Structure formats: structure tokens, C-alpha cells
Chains A and B, each alone.
Chain A
Amino acid sequence: METSTKPTDTYGNSYNRNLLVLVLMVGSFCTILNSTLMNTAFPAIMKDFSISTASVQWLTTGFMMVNGVMIPISAWLINRFSSKVMYLWAMSTFLIGTLVAFFAPNFGFLLAGRLIQGLGVGVSMPLLQTIMLSIFPPEKRGAAMGTVGLVVGLAPALGPTLSGWIVDNWDWRMLFLMMVPIVVTVIILAFFFMKSVIPNTDQKIDLISVITSTIGFGALLYGFSTAGNDGWTDIYVLLYLALGVIFVVLFGLRQLKMDEPFLDIRVFKYGEFSLAAVLSGVANLALVGSEMVIPLYIQNIRGESAFHSGLILLPGALAMGVMSPITGRLFDRYGAKFMAIAGMTMLTLGSIPFLFITKETSILFVIVFYAIRMFGIAATMMPVTTSGMNVLPFNKISHGTAVNNTFRQVLSSIGTAILISVLSSVTKNSMPSATMLKETPLKYADHATNAVLSGYHAAFFISALFAALALIFAFFLKKGNNAPKTLVKEDK
């Protein structure tokens, strides 16, 4: 990635961009890896602290919530403080959380450690995206975002495989310990190579915005995460959702009134940005849904270990990792439209086969169609996000990133909730009666397997539907790359 002019930071000093990107990538990889690292270790942790499934779930739910609440605030943080300070802050917070979790004498400390980690990750992810969009010229943003896609796409996909392997061979504490040397190295290197690259303003913190967004998005995310299990008519679920909606609306209204908004939601006025947000959100839904259901299928129906289910999903993750930088470069040259159309076609077609999986489906079947899906997502998510960002003025990038990420987070929590509730209600309805278990247990087991399978089929049907919906949206994208001050050849 050589440019004719040397990049300079906000003080006008030149810096080594490749090293900065490297430090940024490695650190962010560690933090994002943590979002999917825990689930495999749940059984071991439950045994160690003798706690229930419902409590242990909080290690993931709580983490995601803190993470989700931090993202809307991140825009202000990134604009207010230098990116070097923010990055060091995010990585140090993450390190502290990791250490707390590693030494945790009881479940309370472990959860606290995870929540502290979530604070760090909530900043590091939007920071990564904003920095990458800022330090490269607009016509190279695609390639830069492709690299981001490599991290954001590959890290969560590697999580289960890695943690399965570690938990099988060592101890769940190792999951935290292994992070420590890497993160310490990243922090030390960041002192030297991370620069302040995003222009700052001394905008005051707006406490009302912080409070309304924290309560609003927190309640919303919590409501959706419980809706999947407790059902949509549960009084608490409805209460949390209502609370969430009210505070998010209050937050939104306040932003529209402010001269210098805390989180500028007016970025939605840019049509291409909104379309991109919806499209990448829906693509993300399809991704999250399958990443949730396929491991369930492999582990519950096929009886494979978590590690093996991770291995089965690995080729898909690699397909995404390999394709992401390529699609990024292609985006810089040719724009997002046709890539999104191709990608969403692949995602839709790759989802449909999963409607037909049986208890004996060939493993290669699962691997290949999953990889085709991931290919499709790699061709869509980052290019579309970038094309949305490209229509924004330079000083709105951090806001755009925060809005886009928040939107995606909320959308995927809604989607996950829908998927889980469809899955569990279809499974429940096709479950054979309890008397059958007493009378003919063998027949019951057979029917129960089929019931669970039909639950998975239903979930994949929803997933394919999302993908098909996104495919339709893709046709509304503008042709070519809309990078400002473009040197790009238009697609004719």
C-alpha cells in the first residue's frame, strides 16, 4: 500500500502507516476474537463454579450488551480524544478485564472481567473502522476495509475452533492467559507506532445523550436477547423492549435538536448510507443466524465436539478471510453494486441447501455450502459498508461508523431473537408427546431428532429469506465506486 505522499498524523508528523495498521489489526483481532471465545468453555465453567446455564450465558450476553452500549458513545470518544489515547485506553481496559477474568476466584469476578473486556471491545471495533477509513485516501478505502473484514470476519469465526482446542487440552483460564502476552506487546508497540490520525474537536460530553443511549440500547439488546428464550409475549421482555424503544427515541430526538450532535444520526439522510446500513445489517443477520444454528446442528444432531464443529466451519471462515481483501480491492475499482448482487445471490443459494439437511447429511455438504455463504458475505458486507461511508463527508466518518455499527448490532440482536424463537417454537410444536417417551422411547428419540431438525430448517428458512431480501436491496445500490474526489474509472 505505497502512496506518493507520506501519510501524516494530526500534528503534521509523518508516520509508518503499515506498522500502525499492523498494531491496530493484531490488537483488534484479539478483542473481537473474544466475542465468540466463551461458548465452548461454558460446560467447564459451569462445573468449576457450579452455576446454571442461565447464569453462564451472561458471560456472552453481558459482554455483547456492554459492547453494544459503548458503540454509540464511541463516536464522541473518537472525536474528542486522540486515536492514540483511545486505542491505548481500549487495549488497556481489555487487558485489565482479561486479567480479572483470568484470576477470577468466583463467577462474579469472571463476569466482571468479561464486562470490562466488553468496554474495551466496544471502543476498539469502531475505532478500527474509523481509523482505517480515515488514514487511506477514499479510493483505497475498499482495500483498507477488506483488511478490516479479514479481522472482523475471521476472528469471530476462529473463536470456537480455537477455544474448543484450548478447552480440550488445557483449561478455560488459558483462554484469558493466552491473550495477555499478545495484548501487552500490542500496548507497548502502540506507544510507538499508534498515532493520532483522526482530527479531534473539544466537544463537551452530553450526559443526557449518554444516559438515554445507554438505557435505550441496553434495554433493547437485553429485551431481544431474552425474547428468544422467554417468548415475545413475556411481560418483562415487552417491558424492556418498550423501555428501550422509548429511550432510543428520546436519544434520537435529542440528537436531532443538538447543533453538534453527540451521535449524528442525520447521516441517515444520505440515501446510499442508509441503504448500505440496511444491506450490511441484513447480511450480518444471515451470518449471525447460521453461525448460531450450524454449530448447534453439528453438536446436537451429529454429536461432534465443539472443536470439531469449529473445524467444520473453518473453511468457511478462511473463504471469508481470503476473499475479504480481494473484494475490498475490487470494490475500489468497480464499486459495490454488482459485488453485492453476486454476494447476496451466493448467500441466498448457499442458505437454501440447509433447509434440507438430515441427520446424515454429508459433512462436505455443510462445509461447502457454508463456505459459499461466507464468500457471499465477504463480497457484500465490507464493500457495501465502505460505499455507504464514501458518501459521507470526512468529519462524519466516526459518526457514520458508530451509527452503522449500532444499527447492525441492534438488527442482528433482533434477528437472532427471531431465529431463536422460531427455532424453539417449531421444535416444540413438532416434538412428540411425553406419553410417547413413556410408551415407546426409541420411536420418541427418532421423532425428537426430526423435530429438532425441523426447527433448524425453519431457522434457515428465515435466514434464506433475509438473504433474499438483501438481494433485492442490492439492486438499488448505485453503480461504480462513489468515492469522493475520485480517481476511479467508472464502471460503464
Chain B
Amino acid sequence: MSIILLILATICFFCFTVLPMIKHRVIYAVISLLVMLTCGSLIILNDSFNFGMQVETTKTTKSLASSASKDLDVLLYQPLGTKNERVYLYKTDADAKKPTATKTTDSVAKYTTNAKKATLVITEERYVYKNSWTKTFFGILNNSGRLKKRTYNFQIPNGWYVLSTSQAKALQKLIKQHKTQMQQDIAQVIQAELATELQKNPTMSSSERESLVKKLQQKATKETLDKLVAKVKASKS
């Protein structure tokens, strides 16, 4: 609408200014000029300053899978610059071959810990036409749905690690190197803990015992991993 009106007003303005045989052409020329000016200003206001638009917020929640291997819960990021700008690499599907990178234009990404389940919440604020009037008038510009701001919020449980891509590589290497050592350490810890637990509760059933071992194993593995991760993080930057 706005564009068509603008073009018509421009043509009218030209005709009324140039063709001398039309009566009262000055008045018509001024009117067309005013229409031109109004349309032009409204288009600029709309397209450059979001006049006639409103912000529509959409929230999408996705479950998050580990960015790296399935047995280690990791959220990867690619660090940029020396002041710690990050592009996160995430998977919402554990079977996906490659992780997705967070978009960077008009976007912020952050993570919060302590979540019950690993989820990614993407909040998008987009400009859409305020009402059917502005839609009819500016719709021809096809500028609805422009992004104002996008927020990535990675909510991860406590067991997760947030690692840069180089840290993740270093960690992988360390795990490989210390595999037997780790297993031994873990086994030792489990045995020692199991012994103390058995002393406290000598009448433990075998199923109780099994679950305890599992718990201990998880705990011990995490502790060992924590140590390695701390080492990796300390060594890099």
C-alpha cells in the first residue's frame, strides 16, 4: 500500500508540476508532494525505526544432549577474542553428527547450572506488524519478523561440564592417557567407601549393595573427572 501510494503520488506530482494545461495544478502538485512526503516518512519510520511494529516474543524449549560423546555430558563452546566471547556448540539430538553453533547477530548466549534436566531455551524477540492497519499499509515491504534480540539459555544440571573445544580435546587426551590409572583410582575409592559403608550397615542386602556401588562409582568417576577438568582448565589460559 505505502509503496503503491508513494509511486502514484510521485507520478501525480510530476504530471501536475510539468503539464501546464491542468487547472489549479499548483494545489494538486502540493497535495501530491505532501502525500509523497508522508508516505516516504512513514516508510522510513517503519523500515528503519520500527514504527507500527510491536515486539513478539517466542520461547522454544529443547532438551539438550551432550555436545561431545554420549558418555560425557559436555556443553562445548568456541571462545572468541581475549575477553571471552563465546559461540556455543550444542546438540538437541544426541544422535546428531555435528553440533549446532549459536547464532551471533543480535544474540546473547549464557548458561545456568543447577537445572534438573538439561534444556535449551531460545527466546526470540521479533518485530511484527502491530495491527491489521499497519499490516495492510507496510506489508508490501515484507519486513515483518525482523529479529530484535535472541537469547540462548542453556540450563544444565550439575553433572555437566562447560568446556571450550580445545579444553575438550585436552580432556579427551588426558582420559586416554590416564585410563588405567583412573580405573584403578576409582576402584580403590569404591572399595574403601564400600568398606566403611559395610561397617556401618553390615546387614546390607545384595540389591542395596549393588545400587550403592553404582552410586559410588558415579561419585568417584565424577570426582576423578572433576580433577582432570580442573587440570585442563588450569592449563589453558
Residue pair B81, A364 in contact (C-beta under 8 Å): no
A149 to chain B, nearest CB (A): 16
> Is the CB–CB distance between A364 and B142 below 8 Å?
yes
In chain B, residues 1-41, which have Cβ atoms closer than 8 Å to a Cβ of chain A?
3, 6-7, 10, 13-14, 17-20, 33, 36-37, 40
> Which residue from A334, A375, A441 sits with its C-beta under 8 Å from B19?
A334
Distance from B95 Cβ to chain A, minimum over Cβ atoms (Å): 30
Residue of B nearest to A353 (CB): B44
Is A441's CB under 8 angstroms from B85's CB? yes
For residue B125, CB closer than 8 A to chain A, the reply is: no
Q: Is A440 a contact partner of B81 (Cβ separation < 8 A)?
A: yes
Q: Say yes or no: B20 contacts A362, CB within 8 Å.
A: no
Q: Which chain A positions have C-beta within 8 A of B18?
A: 330, 334, 338-339, 342, 379
C-alpha spacing A349/B35, complex, angstroms: 12
Tell me the B91-135 residues at the A interface (CB within 8 Å). Answer: 104-105
Bound form: Cα–Cα A349–B17 in Å: 15
Q: 9 additional contacts, CB 8 Å, given A330-B18, A361-B48, A442-B85?
A: A339-B17, A341-B17, A349-B37, A349-B40, A365-B43, A368-B7, A375-B10, A439-B81, A446-B105
In chain B, positions 57-93 with a C-beta closer than 8 Å to chain A are 80-83, 85
Q: A341-B17, A345-B33, A375-B14 are in contact. Are A361 and B47 (CB under 8 A)?
A: yes
Verify if A372 is at the interface (C-beta below 8 Å from B): yes
The interface bits of chain A over 344-371 (1 if a CB of B lies within 8 angstroms of the residue's CB, else 0) are: 0110010011001110111011001100
Flag whether A257 is at the interface (Cβ < 8 A).
no
A-B contact list, 25 entries, CB within 8 Å:
A334-B19, A338-B18, A339-B17, A342-B13, A343-B14, A345-B17, A345-B33, A346-B10, A349-B36, A349-B40, A352-B40, A356-B47, A358-B47, A360-B146, A362-B143, A364-B141, A368-B6, A368-B7, A379-B14, A438-B82, A439-B81, A440-B81, A440-B83, A442-B81, A445-B104
Question: What residue of chain A has the Cβ atom nearest to residue B87's Cβ?
Answer: A442
Q: Known: A356-B44, A441-B81, A441-B85. Is A372-B10 also a contact (CB below 8 A)?
A: yes
Residue A443, interface by CB 8 Å: yes
Give the size of the chain B interface in residues (CB under 8 angstroms).
31
CA distance A343 to B142 in the complex (A): 28
Q: In the bound complex, what is the Cα–Cα distance between A369 and B47 (angstroms)?
A: 13
Given contacts A346-B14, A440-B83, is CB(A356)–CB(B48) below 8 Å?
Answer: yes
Main secondary structure of the interface of A (DSSP, over half): helix
Q: CB of A491 within 8 A of chain B?
A: yes
- A residues near B80, Cβ cutoff 8 Å: 440-442
A455-492 interface bits toward B, Cβ cutoff 8 Å, 1 = contact, 0 = none:
00000000000000000000000000000000000011
Task: Report the count of interface residues on A (CB-CB < 8 A).
Answer: 37
The docked-state distance in angstroms from the alpha carbon of A189 to that of B3 is: 45
A421 CB, nearest partner CB in chain B, Å: 26
Cross-chain contact of B48 among A339, A345, A358, A492 (Cβ < 8 A): A358
Say yes or no: is B140 at the interface (Cβ < 8 Å to chain A).
yes
Chain B interface mostly helix, strand, loop or mixed?
helix
- Chain B residues with CB under 8 Å of A369's CB are 40
- Residue ID in chain B nearest A360 by CB atoms: B146
A interface residues (Cβ-Cβ under 8 A, vs B): 330, 334, 338-339, 341-343, 345-346, 349, 352-353, 356-358, 360-362, 364-365, 368-369, 372, 375, 379, 437-446, 491-492
- In the complex, what residues of A have CB within 8 A of residue B19's CB? 330, 334
Q: How far is the CA of A358 from the CA of B44 in the complex (A)?
A: 10
User: Who on chain A is nearest to B48 by CB?
Assistant: A356
Given contacts A353-B43, A353-B44, contact A362 B142 (CB under 8 A): yes
Q: Which residues of B contact A375 (CB under 8 A)?
A: 10, 14
B104 touching A342 by the CB < 8 A rule? Answer: no
The reply to whether B85 and A443 contact each other, CB–CB distance below 8 Å, is: yes
Q: Cα distance A381–B141 when bound, in Å?
A: 30
Q: Which residues of B contact A339 (CB under 8 A)?
A: 17-18
**Can you list, as one digit per residue, whether each of B184-204 has a CB less than 8 Å from chain A (1) or not (0)?**
000000000000000000000
Q: Which residues of B contact A446 (CB under 8 A)?
A: 105
What distance in Å separates the Cβ of B5 from its nearest Cβ neighbour in chain A? 11
Measured CA separation A227–B50 after assembly (Å): 39
A442→B10 contact, CB < 8 A? no
**Shortest beta-carbon distance from B35 to chain A in Å:** 12
Question: Bound complex: CA of A445 vs CA of B80, how far in Å?
Answer: 12
Q: How far is the CB of A436 from chain B (nearest CB, A)?
A: 8
> Are B47 and A362 in contact, CB atoms less than 8 angstroms apart?
yes
Give min CB distance, B120 to chain A, whole Å: 20
**Alpha-carbon distance A357/B49, docked complex (angstroms):** 10
Query: Please, which residues of chain B bring their CB within 8 A of the CB of A364?
Result: 3, 140-142
Give Cα A379 to B3, complex, Å: 21
Residues of chain B with a CB closer than 8 A to A360's CB: 143, 146
Q: In the complex, which residues of chain A have a beta carbon less than 8 angstroms from the beta carbon of B43?
A: 353, 365
Alpha-carbon distance A345/B48, docked complex (angstroms): 22
In the complex, which residues of chain B have a beta carbon less than 8 angstroms from the beta carbon of A349? 36-37, 40
With beta carbons under 8 angstroms apart, the residue of A357, A372, A439 that contacts B83 is A439
Which listed residue (B3, B49, B104) contacts A442, Cβ 8 A? Answer: B104
A339 to B20, CA, bound (A): 11
Nearest A residue to B146 via CB reads: A360
- Give the CA-CA distance A437 to B19 in the complex, in Å: 58
How long is the Cα–Cα vector from A479 to B85 in the complex, in angstroms?
65
Minimal beta-carbon separation of A354 from chain B (angstroms): 10
Q: How far is the CB of A304 from chain B (nearest CB, A)?
A: 16
